Amino acid sequence: MQDQPRATDPVERLDPVVLHHIVNTLGWPDLRPLQKAAVHPLMDGEDAILLAPTAGGKTEAATFPMLSAMREKHWTGTSVLYLAPLKALLNNLVHRVDSYAQWLGRRAALWHGDTPESVRRRIRTESPDFLLTTPESLEAMLISVKTDHTHMLGRVRAVVVDEVHAFAGDDRGWHLLAVLERLERLAGQRIQRIGLSATVGNPDTLLTWLQGASPADRAGRVVAPGVTLPASATAATDAEDLPRPAGEVELDYVGSLANAAKVISALHKGEKRLVFCDSRKQVEEFGAALRARDVTVFLSHASLSTEERARSEQAFAEARDCVIVSTSTLELGIDVGDLDRVIQIDSPSTVASFLQRIGRTGRRTGTSRNCLFLATRPDALLQAAGLLTLWSRGWVEPVTPPPSPRHLVAQQLLAVTLQEHRLGDRLWPEQWNGLAPFDRSAGPLLS
């Protein structure tokens, strides 16, 4: 409940200093629809899923209200956690979030596996207002003997989960939920949960999932202005009156990686092109084939060293006439600068993945989203054609968490024991506030 009347215009509810900098520092004449629609629910403390296509302004839609709430409610210490699935994404975001925080004399900091110990020591003693990290690093903080858990994390009031759909679809999502429940016990109160997601087929279900234990007791909503999704694939089949998705999409059969390299080396010279491949091996092979044709190439996959990854990310942002060859690591919201084209070798496995990839383009005024599919096998050609048919009908897969993973129950029991230095045989289910399968339903596994 607010102590003062709520402003009718959501923009007017943002902190005046934040508004000043939006207009004068960023030069924005107005906020995007999502950014406006998110202000009231987020500043009212509601859980939310913010749904928009890639480059839809989701980071600002969460950050501006959180900064305003921080000022309005006099939050101190590390009050907002910003979680993401990839270190590279966090590296890309921290300077942006920190620049916004500095408008109000606040600070953002980064903590993940590559963060030097000297930086971690500063974070432990000089708490940043925003802490950008991964769920795994958050758990490492909770079990570390070097960290005063209550001092460092006991004042967290909100958690922003970027690319939340990427967590929900696999076991990392269960781990995320378990760690958030432990964080709430440490803070001694409910922590607001905000998920940022590209288009998914079941955002309401995703919200309930993110809310964790006792979602019925938590206020929440999906914020998705202008986003309309059919209820199912069947509904999409019959929905001939749905507006067709925007984007220039082409599908061609080239028969081999060598032919694909020949096509790309000849097309769109002078432009920055992002090519998606299925595997690290294919990325390496395709990069070599392009270099043999005197194309400037940068690679991105999860096995790159920290130094090489940093060099590649810098080149992505600065280079122009080049080709970036990547696995799904660049599918998420990592900034690759002023991108002109997206090219897909064969086909991604889902419509949602394709939407992420085509969303990397069309960000400049006067340009449109685009994607060229180059199929190297007949089965890949058929898969791409089927995927594009579903996309043209406006259908997107629902995100479905895997069945309750018992192996994570065992992992979490060990983690809590390290955190608390003891664990009562009757008290352990309380650590997760009744979240299944970390509650007593896991009892037979441990008997």
Which of 229, 264, 279 terminates a domain? The answer is: 229
Helix (H) or strand (E) holding 223: strand 220-223
* Terminal CA-CA length for the chain: 45
What DSSP line would sit under 31-72, residue for residue?
A: --HHHHHTHHHHHTT-EEEEE--TTSSHHHHHHHHHHHHHHH
* Per-residue model confidence (pLDDT) at position 241: 41
User: Does 269 lie in the same domain as 212?
Assistant: no
Residues 429 and 316 in one domain: no
Does pLDDT of 5 surpass 60?
no
Q: What is the tens place of the pLDDT at every residue in 132-172?
A: 999 999 999 999 988 898 999 999 999 999 999 989 988 99
Structure-token pair, residue 274: 């992002």
Q: Is 246 exposed, middle or buried (0-12, 13-18, 19+ CB in 10 A)?
A: exposed
| Tokens matching residue 348 | 């991604």
Largest CA distance in the chain: 67
pLDDT digits (tens, 9 = 90+) for 311-353: 777 776 777 788 889 887 776 666 666 778 899 999 998 998 8
Is pLDDT of 231 > 60?
no
Query: Do 184 and 39 share a structural domain?
Result: yes
Residues facing residue 194 across a β-bridge? 48, 160
User: Does residue 363 sit within a domain?
Assistant: yes
Same domain? For 215 and 251 the reply is: no
- Sorted by sequence, the CB contacts under 8 Å of residue 409 that are 6+ apart come out as 437, 438, 442, 445, 446
- Provide the 10 A C-beta neighbour count for residue 12: 11
Residue of 275, 256, 253 whose CA lies nearest to 264: 275
pLDDT(446) > 70: no
Two tokens, residue 162: 């970027």
Query: Angle formed by the axes of helices 378-392 and 351-358, to 10°?
Result: 80
- Which range has the worst mean pLDDT, 149-153, 234-238, 383-387, 400-404? 234-238
What is the chain's mean pLDDT, rounded? 86
CA–CA separation, 344 and 250 (whole Å): 10
Can you give the pLDDT at residue 305?
A: 72
Task: Find all residues with CB under 8 Å of 304, minimum gap 6, and list them.
Answer: 312
Same domain, 427 and 342: no
For residues 22 and 139, state if they share a domain. yes
- pLDDT at position 331 is 66
CATH code for the domain of 310: 3.40.50.300
Q: Which residues contact 53 (CB under 8 A, 6 or more apart)?
A: 198, 199, 355, 359
- Residue carrying the six token digits 């400037």: 296
192 and 275 together in one domain: no
Q: Is residue 104 part of a domain?
A: yes
Q: What percent of the chain has pLDDT over 90?
A: 53
pLDDT tens digits along 241-295: 444 456 789 999 999 999 999 999 998 888 888 999 988 899 999 999 999 999 9
**C-alpha span between 370 and 340 (Å, rounded):** 8
CA distance 130 to 133: 10
What is each CA distance from 225 to 34, 35, 53, 352, 362, in whole angstroms?
6, 10, 11, 18, 20
Report the percent of the chain where pLDDT is more than 70.
Answer: 87
- Could you give the CA distance from residue 352 to residue 11 in angstroms, rounded to a whole number? 31
Residues 439, 377: one domain?
Answer: no
Tell whether 236 is covered by a domain.
no
Contact 271, 240 (CB under 8 A): no
Residue 2 has pLDDT above 90, yes or no: no
Which residue from 297, 274, 276 is spatially nearest to 380, judged by alpha carbons?
A: 276
Answer yes or no: do 220 and 315 share one domain.
no
| pLDDT score of 441 | 62
The stretch 399-419 carries a mean pLDDT of: 87
Number of structural domains in the chain = 3
* Single pTM value for the model: 0.84
CA 91/CA 112 separation, integer angstroms: 9
Q: How far apart are CA 233 and CA 229, in angstroms?
A: 10
| pLDDT of the residue at 15 | 97
Phi-psi map region of 132: left, alpha, beta (phi>0 left; psi -120 to 50 alpha): beta
Pick from 359, 367, 199, 385: which is nearest to 274 by CA?
A: 359
Whether residue 142 is contained in a domain is answered as yes
Q: Looking at residues 37-57, what average pLDDT do you find?
A: 91
**Does pLDDT of 395 surpass 90?**
no
Residues 255 and 378 grouped into a single domain: yes
Maximum average pLDDT range among 69-83, 387-401, 405-419, 426-440: 69-83
Each residue's pLDDT tens digit, 166-221: 899 889 999 999 999 999 999 999 999 999 998 788 999 999 999 998 888 889 99
Given a cut of 70, whether residue 444 has pLDDT beyond it is no
Q: Name the residue range of residue 429's domain.
A: 406-446
Residue 228 has pLDDT above 70, yes or no: no
Is the model more confident about 234 or about 73?
Answer: 73
58, 59, 192 from 93: Cα distances, Å: 12, 9, 21
Distance CA 206, CA 213 (A): 14
71 and 206 belong to one structural domain: yes
Residues 140, 58 share a domain: yes
32-35 long-range Cβ contacts below 8 angstroms, 24+ apart = 32/56, 32/57, 32/61, 33/225, 33/226, 34/58, 34/61, 34/223, 34/224, 34/225, 35/60, 35/61, 35/64
